[in-house]
Amino acid sequence: MPDRPTQARPRVAVTGLGSLSALGNDVAAHLKGLRAGTVGIGETRGVDVSSMKTKISAEVRDFVPEAHFEPRQLGLLDRTAQFAVVAARQALADAGPVLEGAARHRVGAIFAASVGSHAVDDSYRKLYAEGAPRPHPFTVPRAMPSGQVSHITMDLGIHGPAFAIASACSSAAHAIGTAFHMVRSGMLDVAISGGAESQLTYGMLKSWEALRVLSPDGCRPFSRDRAGLVIGEGAGAVVLENMDRALARGATIHAELVGFGMSADGMDITAPDMASAAAAMRFALEDAGLAPEQVDYVSAHGTATTLNDRTEAGALRLVFGDHLARLPVSSSKSQYGHTMNASGALDFVTTVLALREGFLPPTMGFREFDPDCDLDCVPNGARDAAIEAAISSSFAFGGLNAVLAVKRYG
């Protein structure tokens, strides 16, 4: 019996982008900051940090909730959910009339799960410090990890599959990868995906400080004198669409999402595993049909902790071998901080912009070469480059890893 001809898999287009970060409150501002090497890290203003050792963070500045939501809505939305809805609105607007003609249940929303930290912090303060008889009546819906995706479906009128994925710092990358597979499989025609996070509350900052992983003076990924991560807040969102459908409606295609890889360390709740991180990268390349030598840029997880950066550099050596000497690897967390469950989405938006605009985002704050991180980390300034293919990596606490592979379109 003759072999069946191999059928080409449907392609997936990125047709919409949305973001809020310490670099600005939309994609245009985010792109401008990336290219200029702007560092959005500074003294924390939204929380009283006078009793803390760490007084810096990467805040979203000048965000006015009342400019985006009616007063009756604000009682139901934690700051994280506000960011998520605004970023999703931006992505949908950028995608144009993507929902026109779409079957009601073939449009989905898959986002990172994030606890409403502000709702929890406010309620506990009222109960424990102020002696209030009860917390805010909407504390539970404001705090629930699936709150942001629920609000996105209600705000945008989405009726297809919608859910939240929890895998710590890989949550948004897992969400985008899952949405990608759902579109590629034909389950969905359109998916809105990403993540949002705001952990800049007194309780969460004190908790991160207790872990002793925060830098007191800036984020310096891959630099020998790196001193830890900087907490950021923000959101990233993308619209993923069946390529044939996007072309038929004349959509602007920012990039093509081509692969997704996952792995679990199965070893430690905080310490990463080199071999497992490498496996996730390999799986993403295999899924994309890309050889390691075809990758022109890596958007690294790059948290600026001693162990994580060293482990990630080692994993890159395992995957790319000699090609690593010619492969730029940068961490944009040096500009907009580690946005936790949103980081995979913001890093992916950054990667798409790098492909579309033809530049390498920088690793800011780099001061000293580290032989354990022997990488071209694009130090201290963006660089023009024609990028055809890239990966964006997320390696989370608990060893939950997700890597997205993307190609330039056109």
Task: Kindly list the domain boundaries of the chain, sorted by start residue.
Answer: 12-248, 260-407
By the 8 A CB rule, do 90 and 152 touch?
no
Determine whether 30 is an active site residue. no
**CATH for the stretch 12-248:** 3.40.47.10
Output the CA torsion sign for 334, 335, 341, 346. Answer: negative
Q: Are 12-248 and 260-407 in the same CATH fold? A: yes
Please indicate, yes or no, whether the overall pTM of this predicted structure exceeds 0.95: yes
User: How is residue 203 written in tokens?
Assistant: 């309780």
What residues of the chain score a pLDDT lower than 50?
Answer: 1-6
Instruction: Identify the active-site residue in 254, 301, 373, 377.
Output: 301
* pLDDT for residue 180: 98
- pLDDT tens-digit profile of 352-403? 999 999 999 999 999 999 999 999 999 999 999 999 999 999 999 999 999 9
* pLDDT for residue 30: 98
What is the SS3 assignment for 117?
A: helix
User: Within 292-408, where are the H helices?
Assistant: 306-320, 333-336, 343-357
Instruction: Identify the active-site residue in 169, 219, 373, 377.
Output: 169
User: How is residue 321 written in tokens?
Assistant: 């071998």
Determine whether 377 is an active site residue. no
Fold of 260-407: Peroxisomal Thiolase; Chain A, domain 1 (3.40.47)
* pLDDT for residue 410: 83
Instruction: Identify the active-site residue in 118, 151, 254, 338.
Output: 338
By the 8 A CB rule, do 354 and 360 touch?
yes
| Residue in 167, 373, 370, 204 with CA at minimum distance from that of residue 177 | 167
* pLDDT for residue 7: 63
* pLDDT for residue 1: 37
Contacts 24+ apart (CB under 8 A), 270-274: 270/397, 271/307, 272/307, 272/308, 272/311, 272/312, 272/395, 272/399, 273/311, 273/399, 274/311, 274/314, 274/315, 274/318
Determine whether 169 is an active site residue. yes
